[in-house]
Amino acid sequence: MQHIFNHCPNCKGGHLEYPEGNKIFCPDCGFVYYHNVAGAVAVIVQKEAKILLTERNKDPKKGFLDLAGGFVDAGESAEETCVRELREELNMAVDISKLKYLASAPNEYPYKGTLYNTIDLFFLYRDDSLEIENFDQMELKGFVWKKLSEVDIEMIAFESQKKVLALLKEKSNPE
């Protein structure tokens, strides 16, 4: 496990132990911290035969393609996160009843020197009349609509998304 603390957050001591997995222990004061997996969502927005891919305008993976989504806030359901993230990133009004859970996949998200392990929950949101007129230009450089068969998996920012999109491509084109 990556050493995320230089000092104990409780006693400020400098000796921390990382005995196993996600556990961090301070032998000086007995403080225990579990660096658990963070929840995140990714939404495959579908309009007719195409899906929406956003182009990242920030690191990590600036310039790569991504699915709309983000981290789950405290007290928020995964579906509520989908609604909030689509509103924030793409100015979309989402009918929460149209969200369909698809799959989950583990991921790693490096941010400012700390590696966050996530569990990414994937949802489908289909709206054939959807129009996106503006988006958060701080977060996104832009967006594109592509048929799943046209998606270059190597241009996708995160491994969890590559895995799920590849599985969906495989299911839609069985040999």
Domains in the chain with CATH codes: 1-36 (2.20.25), 38-172 (3.90.79.10)
Residue 175: the pLDDT is 52
The arithmetic mean of pLDDT across residues 38-54, rounded, is 97
Amino acid letter for position 5: F
Give the torsion sign (CA, 89, 121, 80, 126): positive
Examine the pLDDT at 6 and tell me if it is beyond 90.
no
Distance of alpha carbon 62 from alpha carbon 76, whole angstroms: 27
Among 20-24, 66-70, 168-172, top mean pLDDT goes to 66-70
- Burial tier of 102 (Cβ tally within 10 Å: 0-12, 13-18, 19+): middle
Residue 111: the pLDDT is 87
The b-or-e profile of 115-142 (16+ CB within 10 A means b, else e) is: ebebbbbbbbbeeeebeeeebeeebbee
Examine the pLDDT at 50 and tell me if it is beyond 90.
yes
Lowest mean pLDDT among 1-5, 76-80, 147-151: 1-5
> 158 is written with which tokens?
């995160």
pTM: 0.90
Residues whose CB falls within 8 Å of the CB of residue 84, separated by 6 or more in sequence, listed in order:
73, 76
Distance of alpha carbon 138 from alpha carbon 140, whole angstroms: 6
What is the pairing mode between strands 114-126 and 38-47?
parallel
**Catalytic sites, residue numbers:** 131
Q: Residue 115 — very low, low, confident or very high, per pLDDT cuts 50/70/90?
A: confident
Residue 1: the pLDDT is 57
